[in-house]
Chain A
């Protein structure tokens, strides 16, 4: 298949993102007309504070949710590209190095024991607990996978340690769910399946800063990641400091994913299928994959959110269910088209 020019691919993805964003803004459980949307925007920019209910729903619930979906989708898409390039392995996604399970454990700990600790940071307590959990678990993976002799982290060792730490933290989540009271257990389940419905402007700005910085920083590592894909020895011959590269890329990834997960819960499959789809279309150049991964990840998550909101309207599904239901068949179809061997 002839690969399209990056600019053309970017344009197509941008137009698709624009379309999914417009649909996402327009449709939901509450019917907000185009007129109401434009009125709400005019009113807010003209400084009018007394807004109709639909204007307020649009500005304070719908819009932050749509933007959060775009940012988190971009984070997961870029995270998938970075991880797969770093590990030179197509089955890796951001969650595999323990970040998501650690964040889930931090959140579960907050739900069950938060009141006992008497920590009152308002709406920032849950994101903080999840973020700390994600960072601790990833640091554990990195530290425990280090070879005592060489001090290096081999890919296999990182992946296997990641699986072990994931299992450990997920069993912690399971234990906390088991001892939790009914409302607490439901909060944990709700959070483990991910939702964009709790998005708010302050949280969105925080995620935006982290996502955009992470994306820009990731682009700086694209060439080195391309060299790494040739093999560690070849990359070293080309002057790449492998240990430093792994540390820095992992750090960018863990901060981006932990912060996103902290605000919206655990969302699977986006980081796995986005790089696969893109590699089929545009090849393996990380200089293109990173920013197109951000665009495609944003499209996938925005489209999933539209489905989550409309499938059972006026009720809504947790978004993690939708991404898995859509992602699993796509992933299986991709696997069937490609012959993988070990």
Chain B
């Protein structure tokens, strides 16, 4: 009996997972696009071209209203039938989807898929991507204004950076896995670029994008600022236990109370809000110059 109750509870918990249960409310005979890229998703919403989007992947979390759309799961753990159940007329993806057999199945079924041009992960590259997507969705004017906004915010941010006298050492921790091992963003990541634009430098120099590091390395890096990504920070905030994390209390950042929360997704790709996000990082890492 106990087992049956547990089973029912599990089924209930699974069924109530929020974004999987979102209703598919698009009418028949429309263009039906499934978008499996958080970067594309944000640009599409930025362009105001979301009317034909019927589903997105789980990592597409911006803007907040995107969470009302049905999801087809995590972009690296897809299932063909889940995608096809959305009756897509086109699948947009950025070549970062898997597992391989699902991509193969979709290709064999001749489901139209669209990948926009592969641009460098720079402001110029992002500008080109936004313009290409604007032209695809026939939203050239909106694309132009998105690019202008992004470029102008970037100019403002870069201008401010030239005025900063100090270059603080910043550690960006994607904390949310095991409690005493940190997943740290390093030199080759998009976050490192954004930090540089904001006038800071990475406290840990490593060629990988993200790396699991021991508390000893965190303490030895002795950063001036620590940026904790949202998931881990929100979990800690309730009990204010940041000082209990191994290695953290030995850092300058902890002693000066310079540990801040930041959205993880805002640091892993460049998009229309990148200028805005760099300005936000500047406020966090140069608090004296940005009161």
Q: Please choose the segment from A141-149, A179-187, A215-223, A251-259 that sits at the chain B interface, where 4 or more of its residues have CB less than 8 A away.
A: A179-187
B82–A316 CB distance below 8 A: yes
CB-CB under 8 A from B86, the residues of chain A are 314
B20–A197 CB distance below 8 A: no
Does A313 have its Cβ within 8 Å of any Cβ on chain B? yes
A57-B81 in contact given A311-B11, A311-B14, A329-B3 (Cβ < 8 Å): yes
Question: Can you spell out 20 A-B residue pairs with CB atoms less than 8 angstroms apart?
Answer: A29-B82, A57-B81, A60-B105, A61-B84, A62-B81, A183-B76, A186-B98, A187-B99, A198-B99, A200-B105, A311-B14, A311-B15, A312-B17, A312-B20, A314-B20, A314-B72, A315-B73, A316-B81, A325-B10, A329-B6
Q: Which residues of B contact A (CB under 8 A)?
A: 3-4, 6-7, 10-11, 14-15, 17, 20, 70-74, 76-77, 79-82, 84-86, 96, 98-99, 101-102, 104-105, 108-111, 210, 212
A197-B101 in contact given A53-B109, A186-B77 (Cβ < 8 Å): yes
CB-CB under 8 A from B110, the residues of chain A are 56
Task: Name the residue of chain A whose CB is nearest to the CB of B86.
Answer: A314
A: contact size bracket: 20 to 34
B220 to chain A, nearest CB (A): 21
CB-CB under 8 A from B74, the residues of chain A are 186
Separation of A315 and B55 alpha carbons in the complex (Å): 12
B212–A178 CB distance below 8 A: yes
Contact code string A147-187 (vs B, CB < 8 Å = 1, else 0) = 00000000000000000000000000000001000110011
Separation of A198 and B96 alpha carbons in the complex (Å): 18
Does A28 have its Cβ within 8 Å of any Cβ on chain B? yes
CB-CB under 8 A from B6, the residues of chain A are 329
Q: Which of A31, A56, A182, A315 contacts B79 (CB 8 A)?
A: A315
CB-CB under 8 A from A182, the residues of chain B are 76, 210
Instruction: Name which of A29, A62, A200, A329 has the most chain B CB atoms within 10 A of its CB.
Output: A29
CB-CB under 8 A from A53, the residues of chain B are 84, 109, 111
B98–A183 CB distance below 8 A: yes
Q: Which of A56, A61, A190, A311 contacts B81 (CB 8 A)?
A: A61
Separation of A317 and B20 alpha carbons in the complex (Å): 12
Does A332 have its Cβ within 8 Å of any Cβ on chain B? yes
List residues 273-322 of chain A with CB under 8 A from any CB of chain B: 309, 311-317
